Structure 1
Amino acid sequence: MNDPDPELIRDGMKRNPLDPKTISYLTLAHYNEHAEHFWEGTKDHDVSQNITALLRCIKGQPPYAVLDFGCGPGRDLKVLTELGHIAVGLEGAPRFVEMARSHAGCEVWCQDFMGLDLPHEYFDGIFANASLFHVPGCELPRVLAELCNTLKPDGVLFSSNPRGNDEEGWTHGRYGVYHDIERWRGYMTIAGFVEITHYYRPAGRPRAQQPWFASVWRKAAME
């Protein structure tokens, strides 16, 4: 099947600006087009604080099975692998998938967030660093429920999102939702998670200069 015509997609956006398939198609097309530029701009970012926050909350003995959700070109996927864990990447932009497989040397699944196909209770942890904010609010409950389902009992999900006041829309060719912590807690609780901790980034700055909030969640026990 041929890809849809971008101009037809953009026309559809005018009629239905929150159509999830449209949002996903255009956001992934942007990342594909700018893949090398994105890699150059992010390859040296230090997110060790976030990786540590996930790993220290996982119960049991390592190595852990970890899903890097929205792994991009594979920067963090490689770090998780080098730490000795069984890391699997998931990415919707085909160019990023190629780059991540080459850079990290491990398994990377090419899946759109709008059409996930995840194994049941397979992962000890999920690392969703700057990825879940691309999921439109209308689709977020479903996506979070699927992530909860793919975690083992007591599994842990880490997320990092740009913070805001629950705005959503287009910025520089990409769709994003800018949650506040209370609204994010609501989504996560409904999906079956309990909060472990949260913090703001970059560390050591006044809150006004911390545009990201990170949070760590455990899969709630079934009653």
Structure 2
Amino acid sequence: MKLSPQDLEKISKLTLQHYNQRCGDFWEGTRHHDVSQNIAALLQYLEGEPPYTLLDFGCGPGRDLKVFAELGHRAVGLDGAAQFAEMARAHSGCEIWLQDFLKLDLPHHHFDGVFANAVLFHVPSQELPSVLLQLHATLKPRGVLFSSNPRGNNTEGWNGGRYGAYYDLQTWQRYMSDAGFIELTHYYRPSGLPQAEQPWLASVWRKP
């Protein structure tokens, strides 16, 4: 069923409201999560000499943004939740762009890498192709995009006050390929567990 502009507005508003109202709890619940595997997965495929210009897409309170900055990279954060943007600015000291994912305004050919950790699943499937094309356009040639999403059976809808879309590997690969990306690798997280106990699908993609 096609979502109307009013539906999309509601999805953005309520999902962002969910995070704005729970920003403190979210920070306490995620600040110590170890995503070093994901950060390394992005950085290892970047070409040229560092420091790199990176976009932390859906940066939340700035946990990973601070890591990128401490590694010496030029990191910019983007989030749609005003409370997260404020927290990320204070925590990381980086430039933060407050933008709704469905109303992006990104510079062309600007970033060496995009880090989209636990965020793109919030984009309704009918809008995902447009968002991916915009992320493709904001990357420099040969730029790299990292994505991690909770995997599923290609269903979407409301889950605890947040909207989410949950894809299997084949469907995610199709979305990314259609947007012009070439797959570099994918893996499931947390590492070291049977796949049935790995709810996260991580993947790395290059812009030709």
Q: TM-score, normalised to structure 2's length?
A: 0.97
Q: Which runs of 5+ in 1 are unaligned?
A: 1-14
> What does the per-residue CA deviation read over 1:162-198, in whole Å, with 9 as the maximum and x for residues that have no partner?
0000110111100111110100011001111000000
Specify which of 172, 176, 183 is matched with residue 160 of structure 2.
172
Contact 1:90 1:110 in 2 (8 A): yes
Query: Is residue 121 of structure 2 the alignment partner of residue 133 of structure 1?
Result: yes
Partners of 1:168 and 1:142 in 2: CA distance:
17
2:149 aligned partner, one-letter code? N
2:150 aligned partner, one-letter code? P
2:26 aligned partner, one-letter code? F
Partners of 2:113 and 2:10 in 1: CA distance:
29
> What does the per-residue CA deviation read over 1:49-85, in whole Å, with 9 as the maximum and x for residues that have no partner?
0000000001000000000000000000000000110
Partner residue, 2:183: 195
Partner residue, 1:9: none
Partners of 1:18 and 1:39 in 2: CA distance:
30
Partners of 1:158 and 1:49 in 2: CA distance:
11
> What does the per-residue CA deviation read over 1:4-59, in whole Å, with 9 as the maximum and x for residues that have no partner?
xxxxxxxxxxx969822211110000000000000000000000000000000010
Partner residue, 2:25: 37
Question: Tell me, what secondary structure is at the counterpart of 2:69?
Answer: helix
Query: Is residue 50 of structure 2 the alignment partner of residue 62 of structure 1?
Result: yes
1:28 aligned partner, one-letter code? L
Q: Which runs of 5+ in 2 are unaligned?
A: none
Contact 1:18 1:136 in 2 (8 A): no
Give structure 1 regions of 4+ aligned residues with deviation exceeding 4 angstroms. Answer: 15-18
Displacement of 1:116 in angstroms is 0.2
Number of matched pairs = 206
2:116 aligned partner, one-letter code? A
Question: Tell me, what secondary structure is at the counterpart of 1:19?
Answer: helix
Question: Tell me, what secondary structure is at the counterpart of 1:160?
Answer: strand
Partners of 2:95 and 2:111 in 1: CA distance:
14
Contact 1:200 1:210 in 2 (8 A): yes
Q: Percent identity?
A: 67
Q: TM-score, normalised to structure 1's length?
A: 0.91
